[in-house]
Structure 1
Amino acid sequence: MGLAQLIDAHKQEVLGRWKEMVRTLADARKLSDASLEDHVPELIDWLAARLRDRVSTNDYGTQMLSRAHAFQRVGEEFDLVEVLVELAVLREVLLGLWVEEPAGVAPVEVLHLSQDLDDVVTVCTTEFARQVVRRYCGSPQAAETLGP
């Protein structure tokens, strides 16, 4: 069983562990389950799909999911640190799954998962910062200086 199949087989467990750990964050405690989960189930699906087929899996998926997540968290008055901790927790849970069931998982799959999560963090951080600049500075031009 490869890492993608492992993630698929344990998706609800991954989501449950992630929610339990994230609920310890101050900003996350006030959210409903639906708001907390936000785009995380789709992100988990995208990560598994990306592991299965790196060539044809659309990078646009991570861009849109990461941006949507950042946009929602800005609207809920989250701190950027907590947004990044949410993503770090997802990494920890996914890597923990691999540690628990390493058989059949190639080391390159773990490297690819880590690279994809790094991309998600980069996009999410940039979009979060862009949204904060727009909200508090009122300048779309200033927000655009943060990059694509």
Structure 2
Amino acid sequence: MGLARLIEAHKQEVLVRWKELVRTLTDARKLSDASLEDHVPELLDWLAKRLRERASTDDYGSQMLSRVHAFQRVCEHFDLVEVLAELAVLRETLLGLWVEEPEGVTPSEVLHLNQDLDDVVTVCTTEFARRALALRGASEAAAETMGH
């Protein structure tokens, strides 16, 4: 529960740090704060909940939030590399928080956080590719077969 508590207690700080680092990415510089953040606050809430409730089958964070984020970034003409960089910066920011305040955080919590973030990256990558193919005229059937 230590890592979940850290994420919840430092949520705004995590968002500020994340935005500062992500703003150094080429495509992210042009976004408004609201567009940049889009679903990151909800994703942080979901990650904290997953850390508390490992038996939870709530896939909302790795499914819906990742899909919406990918769709928005495709529409904003982001490159997939930059989308993945945004998620890598989020991971780095959260792990940095743990390094700064390691008391009460177990190694298994860090492992679970990484697994959940890996799921988010997988869904986001697949959805981004599907949307990009669809926008470029690939058949719906071809786009749908990605990730299966």
- Sort the TM-score into its range (normalised by shorter chain): over 0.9
Aligned-residue offset at 1:62: 1.9
Structure 1 residue 138, shift from structure 2 partner: 3.9
Letter of the 2:114 counterpart:
S
Q: How does 1:117-132 map to 2 (within 5 A)?
A: 117-132=117-132
Aligned AA (2:95): L
May I ask how many residue pairs the two structures share in their alignment?
148
What percent identity do the matched residue pairs reach? 78
Q: Report the alpha carbon displacement of residue 137 of structure 1 after superposing the two structures with TM.
A: 2.1
Residues 80-119 of structure 1 correspond to what in structure 2 (within 5 A)?
80-119=80-119
How far did residue 57 of structure 1 move?
A: 4.9
What aligned pairs does 1:1-148 form with structure 2 within 5 A after superposition? 2-147=2-147
Q: Is the 8 A contact 2:3 2:48 kept in 1?
A: yes
4+ long deviations beyond 3 Å: none
Aligned-partner Cα distance in 2 for 1:58–1:75: 27
- Structure 2 CA distance, aligned partners of 1:57 and 1:12? 26
Q: Does the Cα contact within 8 Å between 1:49 and 1:57 map onto a contact in 2? A: no
Query: Residue 54 of structure 1: CA displacement?
Result: 1.3
| 8 Å CA contact 2:47, 2:61 repeated in 1 | no
In the TM superposition, residue 14 of structure 1 has moved relative to its aligned partner by 0.2
Unaligned runs of 5+ in 2: none
What CA distance in whole angstroms lies between the structure 2 residues aligned with 1:57 and 1:109? Answer: 17
CA–CA distance in structure 2, aligned partners of residues 97 and 60 of structure 1: 24
TM-score calculated relative to the size of structure 2: 0.97
The amino acid across from 2:126 in the alignment is T
Secondary structure class of the residue paired with 1:49 = helix
**By how many angstroms is 1:59 displaced?**
1.4
Give unmatched runs, 5+ long, in structure 1.
none
The one-character-per-residue Cα deviations of 1:53-91 (angstroms, maximum 9, x if unpaired) are 011250133200000000000000000000000000000
